[in-house]
Amino acid sequence: MAPRNIKTSNPSIAMFRFTLGTDQSIGPKDLQSIWVRASQLPDVSVGCVAGQRPEDKATYSLYATQSLEGLAEVETRLRRLLDERNLRVALLCVHAGVR
């Protein structure tokens, strides 16, 4: 996926951010599908921002409403789903909601 900004359609906050391994990418539809499955919510969104320099990796963001519960379980599902696609991620939970 060519890095770009993807607008969110509802008042969501970033729950997770990650970068992918060198020469890896994922399209917005595939990422959205993974995030829906991991969060178990139908109304979530995703985003991707290019690095400031060409050699910098893109940063992907996963958004949901602040009421998303069970972040530890969501993170486990997310890691499993990304791993199933052979995507190497450096994942950071950026919202310390209910864990």
Average pLDDT rounded to a whole number, residues 37-61 = 91
pLDDT of residue 11: 62
d(CA 8, CA 75): 20
Q: DSSP string of 17-43?
A: EEEEPTT----HHHHHHHHHHHHT-SS
Pick the CATH number of 13-93 from 3.40.1130, 3.30.70, 1.20.950, 3.30.420: 3.30.70
Whether this prediction's pTM lies above 0.85 is answered by no
| Residue 75: predicted pLDDT | 96
**Exposed, middle or buried, 50 (CB in 10 Å: 0-12/13-18/19+)?**
middle
Instruction: Quick: pLDDT tens for 51-81.
Output: 888 888 999 999 999 888 899 999 999 999 9
- Residue carrying the six token digits 């993974």: 34
β-strand partners of 18: 60, 91
Domain ranges of the chain: 13-93
pLDDT at 10 over 80: no
pLDDT for residue 43 is more than 80: yes
The dihedral built from the CA positions of residue 90, 21, 63 and 78, taken in this order, carries a sign that is negative
